[in-house]
Amino acid sequence: MIVNLIALIFLPLLLPGIINKTKAIMVGRKGQSLLQPLFNVVKLLQKGEVLSQTAGSITQYAPILALSATVCSALFIPFFSRNPIIGFKGDFLLFIYLLALAKGVMALAAMDSGSSFEGMGTSREMSYTAFLEPAFMLVIASLIYGGKLLPMAEMFSRHSIDFNEIWSLIVAIMTAMALFIMLLVEAARVPFDDPNTHLELTMIHEVMVLDYSGFSLALIHYSASLKMLIYASLIAHLLLPPNIYLTPLFYIAALIIIAVSIGILESLMARFRMNRNLELVLVPVSISLLVMAALIARNVGGW
Amino acid sequence: MNVGFIILLLALLPALFKRSGWFTALWIAASLVLGYDYARVFFGNDSYSYLLSTPGMLGVIPLGLNKLSAFFGLIFSLGLPLGILYGHFYLKQHHSIGISSHLFWLGVMGISMHGLLWMQHSVLFFMFWELMSLSSFFCVIQDRSHSLKAGLNYLITMQIGAAFLIAGFALNYLHSGSFDFSHFAGMGRLPLMLLLIGFAFKAGFFPFYSWLPQAHPVAPSHVSGIMSGLMIKTGLYGIIALISCNQFTLAEIAIFALIGLLSAFLGVIHCLVESNLKSALAYSSIENMGIIGLGLCIGLLGKLTGHPVMQTLGFVGAMLHTLFHSIFKPLLFYLSGNVLCATGTLNIDELGGLKKKLPVTAKLFLLGVLAISALPLGNGFISEFAILMGSFNGLQNASLPALIISISILAGITFVGALALIAFTKLYAIIFQGEARSSKTIAAKESGIGMLVSPIILGFLVLLTGIFGNLALWFIRPVLGWMNLDPRIINSNLGLHYQSFTVVFSILLLLMGLLWLIRRLYVKEQTNPTWGCGYHLPNPKMQYSSMAYVQPLEYFLKPFILIPHKRELDNAAFPKSLQYSEELKDFLFSLVILPLTKMIDRFLKLFNKIHDGKTSSYIAYSLGFLVLMLIWVLRVAK
């Protein structure tokens, strides 16, 4: 439990660092330090803030609420240890709705300043939510159907990969694929969104926080990376075989592999056209439906 | 009962003399008395019953309460006085004619809503039902200049629903020989379905919902709040009463689930694209009714397949959502009334930037948004959690059709929930945030503390039940016992979870407080104009509009909504003017109901021709009729 709390506090900002480093190496640069995102956040925390004249109190409260909600949703997630800080049957619903709360208040905060660019980003980000939430529900549904209704952390570790059983391979790998695509969308990475884009018209997540600076921006960066860590941890625990020694070490290795693969993906791919993105967001829905259908076919058809 | 209803009838007197204050005071007093009666039946073992003996076929009429009607009675005795209190201040803002008749019909509406809960007899129930439809019609058309058409549409829809009800009651009388509700268990299929359809008209289920988005925008805000939050619950009361004493087959449950999904989905996507605030709220009522219906389906499915956890969670979720919807929907309608009073418009594309002009309204609206989009801290999440947990439990179900129904319900509710989040962030963002989009909001200001009292009470209840889910669970426990649901299952599957919720929410609020404190102490702030991204002189017109906000989803939702657009471009080589207009149309209304009424109209016009106004032709008709009669009589005599 304590180790999970430590992970929750210190790990998030390492992921973007690894991704940036991978991208730099892929294009032959030396790249910034692995800890640069951490330094950035520390620096931002020390700075003052510039607020829009149009903005009201939501602009000030939203990053705080969003961070608190994301941290609370991370309480149910297995990090180093497979025992989460809090876990109860049905915590996955609270998890997904807390993330939705964070997203909702950030959307309102983005609309607060009256900037049309921020409206653009908000409307894109929110429309992805419409398909991501059902996708996550279906992922959970297929895990429950294949096993039992348990706390989320336990459900993910029970379905982790087992090389002796072909069904476990199918479920774990397919679900991990669906979660990986959801990670790319939620963390605003290529091919859905490019964090390094230079034109506001093409941004999604970055444009929502255009008017933020200082302390609030630090909180926003931190909660975005925390969200990425949450999804990466779920994938990691799905792909780690059960009952191995030194789970924390393997977990760290899995996180690094995920971050490096995101970096490689970003180096090799361009961003998709904006209006085709929603179709791609539907992919996790279809993958999870496929897993569900396969499991039903196994149970009902007696495979 | 007696005292409460006598006070309610007394309240009609000051209504006739336009004494709105006395009317409100008497209503609050009567609601306290009636609420006490309901609470005694609901929480205790008392059961009020009176027997009225009447001559003829009506027989002995039982008047009384059971746990279910007492539950709805408690909802009404909380919601109605708050609505009337709000209406008292709202009507002061809108100096208009016909206050006395409006108050009178408002009183009659409330009396009939309370009254029908006491009637355990189908004929008397139907009388109060009709009285409720009629009086609410008069309440809707308070401002006759632009509400008459929508009001008539409402009245006619209700009459069609009432026709189904009366047919159902009559068939059931033929079947069981009794008007008494206690003999309704195990009734015939046909009357059961007719009654369910009749109640579905009032509750606003697909495909009978088209009156809601028309009647609500034109009705005064307190009436929309009462109708949407409380009156459509009477339809639900009928449906739940019927469901709890009858068995359903799998095919029927599948149809109910489909209807629920369609109501929820169509409701929310229309809410998404609607630009009239109150229409959008009306569509969201349809969505919420759909969610309650889905909860009931989960419950029925669990009952049918012998899965007690699923049954319990489904019914509990539906009852909780019924309770919560009657809290947060009136809240949103009253606040939209505040917006209307302050700006004189409900078109959200003309609003904007109201958060600084109506600060309290804006904050309370945020609570409503939290609740209605089922976000944690709001109470909508508590009830949707129960329904979703019910369907997740159904995944362990052995039978394939039941499994498929559970999966589609849980995916459907999540999808609808996410769309509701988009719809309500849009409403809030366009109305309250950014800069004013038109001159209408310039003079806007809060219209007095009176119009905030009811919303503040409701907003407090939203937060209270949202954070302490167990409180709401404790409140509805008696009605769950009445539905034969096992309290141990409720405790281990919901009660414990709601406790954990409270713990997590306290962590959340603590963390928030801590961060806020740090921010308050250490962060220096300065203000500047919104960054224009290199564009000089951005103006409020450039802000994101309501249609632009939902544009990315339009591609997927286009097949389900009807937005005819008109484009006028003069044909010159260099066109000088371009006009473009589009309008959201309810496809159910414009593609099904309007053509249907036109067909009926055309059929009736056939008889118009014989009506030519000449005395001689009327005499000829009577002569012809007499001759026909003569022939008929002679043939029969033979």
Q: Is the pLDDT of residue A188 over 90?
A: no
Q: Which residue has the higher pLDDT, B94 or A217?
A: A217
Question: Where would I find the beta strands (DSSP E) of chain A?
Answer: 49-52
| Structural domain includes residue B128 | no
Q: What share of chain B is helix, strand, coil (3-state, %, to 5)?
A: 75, 5, 20
Q: What is the mean pLDDT of chain B?
A: 87
> At B371, is the pLDDT very low, low, confident or very high (cuts 50, 70, 90)?
very high
Q: What is the pLDDT of residue B206?
A: 83
- Please state, in angstroms and rounded to a whole number, the distance separating the CA atoms of residues B195 and B161: 9
- Looking at this predicted complex, what is its ipTM? 0.94
Q: Identify whether residues B308 and B390 lie together within a single domain.
A: yes
Q: Which residue has the tokens 């603590």?
A: B510
Q: Which of residues 474-513 of B touch A (CB under 8 A)?
A: 493, 496-497, 500-501, 503-504, 507-509, 511-512
Q: Are residues B451 and B591 in the same domain?
A: no
pLDDT, tens only, B599-608: 988 998 888 8
* Residue B86 within a domain: no
Mean pLDDT across the stretch A85-107?
Answer: 91
Select from B519, B545, B579 the last residue of a domain. Answer: B519
Straight-line distance from the first to the last Cα atom of chain B, in angstroms, rounded to the nearest whole number: 61
Mean pLDDT in residue range B196-217: 89
Chosen from A73, A97, A108, A288 to mutate, greatest number of chain B CBs within 10 A? A97
A176 pLDDT above the threshold of 80: yes
Q: Which domain holds residue B613?
A: 587-637
**Which two three-digit tokens encode residue B207?**
């495909």
Q: Are residues B515 and B603 in the same domain?
A: no
Q: Find the mean pLDDT for residues A1-13.
A: 84
Under DSSP, is residue A195 helix (H, G, I), strand (E, B) or coil?
coil
Which pLDDT tens digit goes with each residue over B121-137? 888 899 999 999 999 99
**Looking at the structure, do residues B407 and B492 belong to the same domain, yes or no?**
yes
Phi-psi region of B249 (alpha: psi -120 to 50; beta: other; left: phi over 0): beta
A/B interface, count of CB pairs below 8 Å: 234
Mean pLDDT rounded to a whole number for chain A: 87
How many Å is the Cα radius of gyration of chain B? 27
**For A21-53, how does the pLDDT look when each residue is reduced to its tens digit (9 = 90+)?**
999 999 999 888 999 999 999 999 999 898 888
> Does the beta-carbon distance from A60 to B549 stay under 8 Å?
no
Q: By the CB < 8 Å criterion, does B224 face chain A? A: no
Q: Which of A72, A144, A272 to mutate to test the interface with B (most CBs of B within 10 A)?
A: A72
Does residue A81 register a pLDDT over 80? yes
CA distance B492 to A88: 11
Residue B560: how many other CB atoms lie within 10 Å? 12
Q: In a mutagenesis test of the B interface, which of A57, A59, A123 is the best target, namely the one with the most B β-carbons within 10 Å? A: A123
Burial status of residue B55 (CB atoms within 10 A of its CB: 0-12, 13-18, 19 or more) = exposed
Instruction: Answer whether residue B369 shows pLDDT above 90.
Output: yes
pLDDT value, residue A302: 61
Phi-psi region of B470 (alpha: psi -120 to 50; beta: other; left: phi over 0): alpha
The reply to whether B349 and B463 lie within a common domain is: yes
Please check the confidence at residue B547 and state whether its pLDDT lies above 90. Answer: no
What lies within 8 Å, CB to CB, of B383 at 6+ separation is B295, B317, B318, B320, B321, B323, B324
**CA distance linking residue A47 with residue A193, whole number of Å:** 27
- The C-alpha atoms of residue B445 and residue B426 are separated, in whole angstroms, by 22
Same domain? For B613 and B465 the reply is no
Whether B482 is in a domain gets the answer yes
Number of domains in chain B: 2
Mean pLDDT of B331-351: 90
Examine the fold and report which residue of B483, B502, B519 is the final residue of a domain before the chain moves on: B519
Cβ proximity of B73 and B64 under 8 Å: no
Residue B513 and residue B608 in one domain: no
Mean pLDDT in residue range B595-618? 85
Option in B369, B381, B518 nearest A97 (CB): B381
Question: Which pLDDT score is estimated for B638?
Answer: 63
Window 415-434 of B, Cβ < 8 Å to A: 415, 417-419, 421-422, 425, 428-430, 433-434
In-domain check, residue B126: no
Mean pLDDT of A6-15: 87
CB B452 within 8 A of CB B94: no
Q: Is B517 within 8 Å of chain A by CB?
A: no
Domain boundaries, chain A: 2-301
Task: Answer yes or no: do B331 and B422 share one domain.
Answer: yes
Residue A303 has pLDDT above 60, yes or no: no
Question: Is position B243 within any domain?
Answer: no
Q: What is the pLDDT of residues B256-294, one digit of tens each?
A: 999 999 999 999 999 998 889 999 999 999 999 999 999
pLDDT at A246 over 60: yes
Task: Give the domain-ending residue among B497, B519, B541.
Answer: B519
Q: Would B459 be classed as within a structural domain?
A: yes
Predicted confidence (pLDDT) per residue in A46-79, tens digit = 998 988 888 888 999 999 999 999 999 999 998 8
pLDDT digits 0-9 by tens, A140-162: 998 888 778 888 888 888 888 87
Residue B300 lies in a domain: yes
The H-assigned helical ranges of A75-115 are 91-112
Per-residue pLDDT reduced to its tens digit, A215-239: 999 999 999 999 999 999 999 988 8
| CA B614, B618, B621, B623 torsion-angle sign | negative
The tokens describing B65, both together, are: 């309460």
Q: How far away is chain B from the Cα of A117, in angstroms, using its nearest Cα?
A: 8
Question: Tokens 């996550």 sit at which residue?
Answer: A136
